[in-house]
Structures are given as C-alpha cells and as structure tokens.
Structure 1
Amino acid sequence: MDDVEVLNSERHADVRMMSGDQTGSPFVRIVTSEFAAAVVSCPLLFSKHAETGAFYVGALLGFKEGELLIDRPDGKAAFRPLEADREGFFATGEHIALDRTHPRFSGSGQPLFDDRGGATLVLKSAQAALGRLIAGAEATDAFITAMRDHRLIEPIDITLNFDDGERLHLDGLYTVSLDALGDLDDATALTLFRAGHLQHAYMMVASLQHIALMARRRNERLAAGV
C-alpha cells in the first residue's frame, strides 16, 4: 500500500481523525476476545478471505452495505468491534502506520497528537484497538484451525424476505455444526473445552438467534419509513 506511512508525531502533527465508521461493511472481522461482548447483539459467523480462501470469523452488523441493525433504543450500537476503532491504522513490523487516503483522515475530527507531540485520546484508542486485534489473532487462528480440522464448520443459508417484497440472500457465510459437535468423542470434546474452543463454538451457535431479531428490526424500520 503506497499511501501507508509509519506514524510520526512530526510528520502527522496536523492529521485529524474522525470516529471509526460502523456503517460500512455489514460483516466485520473480530477476534475471539470480542466474542463475549458481541454474542449478546450480533450473529457470529465464519467467512473466507477472497484472496486466500482461509476462514476468518466476523460479526454480522446488518444485511446490506451501510446498514446497522444492532443499535440500542438510544440509537447507539450495542457492540463496537475493534476494527471500527483501528480503521486506517496498520501494524508494520514493530511500528504503527496509517493510510493517509482513508476517509477518517479527511481533515475534520480530532488531532492525533497534542501540542507536545504526545498521542491524544483518540489515537490511543486506535492504538489500543490495533494492539488487541494483534494480541487476539493467535488465539483466534487456533480456534478456527480447531473448528476446521475437526470438520465442525458448515455453510449456512441465510435467505430473508421483507415486508416491502425485497428478498436478501447472504452468500459465503458459515457456522458451527451442532450435529458435528454432538458427534465428537469425549477426548476431543474435552481437549476443545480445555482450550476454550468449545465455549466459543457454542457462542457462535447461540448468536444465530440474532438473525431473526435483526430481520424484525429491519421490517419495523421499513414500516416506519426509516
């Protein structure tokens, strides 16, 4: 990425940053350390990287681009993924870099650095989110590998019909197979349990209830003309 620059308090003294956007992609990558916060609000599903075909896990925030269906009655999102806070920032070796072309660095918002060159709260928040994503990557990869190796991942058909006549089909999503979980031998189940993988697997299964709730919320908005 030609526009990615290693973060520097002098070079980026005038860069201002807006809050991360949660109304972009409806499916956002997360790590297993986010599961406990996400499972109360979002369906957690697997998908595959377009370039490599490798599985990753993400939270479904809506059914279409720019749509957020996990907001609370006060209008705030019930779950904020780490990806939303680290948008525009990347790890490069031991350094943090930013993509100057990212929309959140469009000129408005809060400065990255204070008058003394120290990181501001908004930058610290982005740095912390990036750090948590990096720290959670290994455990998340281990979980995905365990699910894949034990053939516990299966495709899921999500086809939704809405009151305005629109029919949506979400492609390329996968979940954990309850049948395959039930077929595990005791030794394998115990190994997965002790590694924390079984708990995360059941969280993903339980989270599927949110699909119907999100569809109902979408219909309510359609009826209200929102």
Structure 2
Amino acid sequence: MSVELVNKNDHQGVKVITRKSEDFGDNVMLTQTFPLEFRHLQPHYPILFQKVRDTDRFIAVALFGFEEGENLFLEDSGWGASYVPLMIQRQPFQIGFQNKEDGVERVLHIDMSSPRVSTSEGSNLFSDHGEPTEFLDYMASALETIHLWAEQGDDFDKVLSGYDLLEPVTFDITLETGRQAQMLGFYTINEDVLAKLSGEALGELNEKGYLMPIYMAIGSLGNIKKLILLKSKREALED
C-alpha cells in the first residue's frame, strides 16, 4: 500500500477507475456499514453483525455472498444493485489526520498502489487548472460521511450489546441444485429480547435514532433468499 495525501501538485494527472469488477478488488463477501446507511441497504442486502476479533465490540456488515471472495452482486456490466455501500464506493480513498496548531484536521488520502489508480482512464481528481473536480469533492464528502457514521456506529453497537439485543445466527443454505451449506460467525437482532424491552428502553432507542435501524436490520434478512437465488443462478451457469 502506498498512501499519499491528495494534492494538486502530485496528483494533477491522476484518475480513478470507478467501475466495479473483480479486477479492482470488488470480489468481497461483505463490507462494514453503519446504522444511518441501513435505509439504503435494506432493499438489497442482508444486514448482519460481526464481533470484532479479540474485543467485545460488534460492527454491522452488508452481506454480498456466502464465502470469502464471493460477491454475488458483481456482474459483467458492473454492480448488480442500485445502491453501492459507501465503504465500497470510497475505494481507493481513505481518511487521514493532520496535526494543526488549533487541533487535528481530517484530510483525504489515496492509495496509489490500488489498481483503480490510472493516468489513462477514469475520473480526474483535478481539472486542467488544478481545481478539485466534482468527483473528488464527492469522494471527500463520502469519506466525511463515513467518519460521522462510524462515530454513531460505535455507540449503536454498545447500546445493542447493553440491551443484549444481539444473538449468534446460523444460516442453513439450500441451493436450487440441492447443494447445502452452513454460514456461521454472524449475529442478528434478538427479536424476542426486543419484544420484551420496557417502554423506557424503547424510548431511549427511539430517542437515539436506533429503533428504525434495528427494524431495518431485521427486515433485511429476507435478502438472504435473494442471495441464495443469485448463487443458484451463478452455479447453474458454471455447470
């Protein structure tokens, strides 16, 4: 990885390829997401939770496939859903931090080793006059949104854990071919515990803006069937 602070002097001729493809590392099984993004995700992806290794923390994830390196939304024409999660959109950019006299400033970095970085095709970072393009402004805005969403997401998982609302889940998958598999290592909302929460607890969740994302995560589980269908179709084409 070769991460650099984005600036017009070093990146005047740099372009970023935005199309989605396995060639650019988009063949991922899942990506991290945040409660404020659930509204956009729910129509397309199952929203689950994973425990962060060696901690008591959880993160929310959008699921794209059933095994490592499998993204069932990748098609020859690109991404097969109308909304692409921001953690996928933001590649190859990331947030950096720069010390200032009056504090710490968030800045935009780019991974120059990414296969998305090009000098011959893609979206320009800067105009011929050295001004940031609309594309670069959008990416900076997306990274700022991710930063703010992540702050809320940290509290969200603490609240869910505090109310014992997360439970481990096992998915038994049967494809149209008859092949069966199990998917382990994920958590989902415990609906029995949710139903028994006091009015005070529900009021706190609602006041924090967490009640709606909780129900969106529950509702998104119907998309597991969509993934099974996509995988069945893919395996049928490979046979």
TM over 0.5, shorter chain? yes
Contact 1:45 1:173 in 2 (8 A): yes
What are the equivalent positions in structure 2 for 1:132-211 lying under 5 Å apart?
A: 132-164=145-177, 166-211=179-224
Give identity over the alignment, percent.
27
In structure 1, the gaps of 5 or more residues are none
Shift of 1:175: 0.6
The reply to whether residue 223 of structure 1 matches residue 236 of structure 2 is yes
Shift of 1:18: 0.7
The reply to whether residue 54 of structure 1 matches residue 57 of structure 2 is yes
Query: Which whole-Å CA distance do the structure 2 matches of 1:198 and 1:164 have between them?
Result: 38
Partner secondary structure for residue 13 of structure 2: coil
TM-score, normalised with respect to structure 1: 0.87
Shift of 1:52: 4.8
- Structure 1 window deviating more from structure 2 (89-98 vs 216-225): it is 216-225
Q: Identify, as 1 or 2, the structure richer in strand.
A: 2
Partner secondary structure for residue 199 of structure 1: helix
1:35 corresponds, among 38, 42, 61, to 38
Shift of 1:60: 0.9
Aligned residue pairs: how many? 224
1:97 corresponds, among 94, 103, 109, to 109
Structure 1 residue aligned with 2:132? 119
1:215 alignment partner AA: I
TM-score, normalised with respect to structure 2: 0.83
In structure 2, the gaps of 5 or more residues are 98-105
Query: Which whole-Å CA distance do the structure 2 matches of 1:207 and 1:219 have between them?
Result: 20
Query: Which whole-Å CA distance do the structure 2 matches of 1:79 and 1:169 have between them?
Result: 27
Shift of 1:96: 0.9
Shift of 1:75: 6.9
Structure 2 residue aligned with 1:8? 7
Query: Which whole-Å CA distance do the structure 1 matches of 2:49 and 2:139 have between them?
Result: 25
Change (3 A) 1:52 1:87: farther
Contact 1:17 1:111 in 2 (8 A): yes
Shift of 1:90: 1.4
Q: Cα RMSD over matched residues? A: 2.5
Contact 1:62 1:70 in 2 (8 A): no
Residues 117-149 of structure 1, C-alpha deviation per residue, up to 9 Å, x if partnerless?
112233223222111111212222221111011
Contact 1:29 1:57 in 2 (8 A): yes
